[in-house]
Amino acid sequence: MYRRLLLILSCLAFLFSSGCALVAPKYSASLENVDKLKAASFQSISVGKFEVVPGKENANPISLRGSSLTSPYDNSYATYLAEAIKQELSLAGKYASDAQIEISGAIRKNDIYIMGLASGVIEARFVVTRSGKINYDQIKVINDSWDSSLMGAVAIPRAQQRYPIMVQKLLALLYADAAFMDALKQ
């Protein structure tokens, strides 16, 4: 009896202590975002350093019901955002690593919740500089939601696949800001 109880407790401890480690999908550019950048009249831009502001709502890795979601870019969501911007600028023909205009920033919130209705938040500060002078400094936030499931086997992969879509939405919000586009022209 004692051995059976010990075996059951050991198995339960093992199951609860080993969460799955997942990697967010690599970023895939939004065609709408790329078209918006192509249509804009500004010179090439470089992408500078993006940082993560430590905080309770700025998870790294993101916890998904005992699993953890990490970034495929150096395990850094700041690098994920920088790579997303670089990818979209490159596809639009507007990226140059040595350009005088630079976009940089910091992720302030970055989390996903998958209990009940799934939701996620990304809040980032974007800064545009030209030769060291700040032309734009604003915070953009997206709150996203999608259908989830009580079953982790369904909810966790949905959340994993949703992360790049959240980044696409954040960048769409940034590119829709007339002040941002004006800062790129200066």
> Which tens digit of pLDDT belongs to each residue from 19-65?
578 999 999 999 999 999 999 999 899 999 999 998 877 767 888 87
Domains of the chain: 20-185 (3.40.50.10610)
**pLDDT tens digits for range 64-111:** 877 889 999 999 999 999 999 999 999 999 999 999 999 999 999 999
**pLDDT tens digits for range 137-160:** 999 999 999 887 767 677 888 889
**CA geometry: angle 104, 108, 109, nearest 5 deg:** 130
All residues at 6 or more sequence positions from 113 whose CB lies less than 8 Å from its CB, including other chains: 119, 120
**CA geometry: angle 163, 184, 122, nearest 5 deg:** 20
Q: Where are the alpha helices (DSSP H) in the chain?
A: 2-17, 31-39, 77-91, 152-175, 178-185
Asked if 134 contacts 127 with a C-beta cutoff of 8 angstroms, the reply is yes
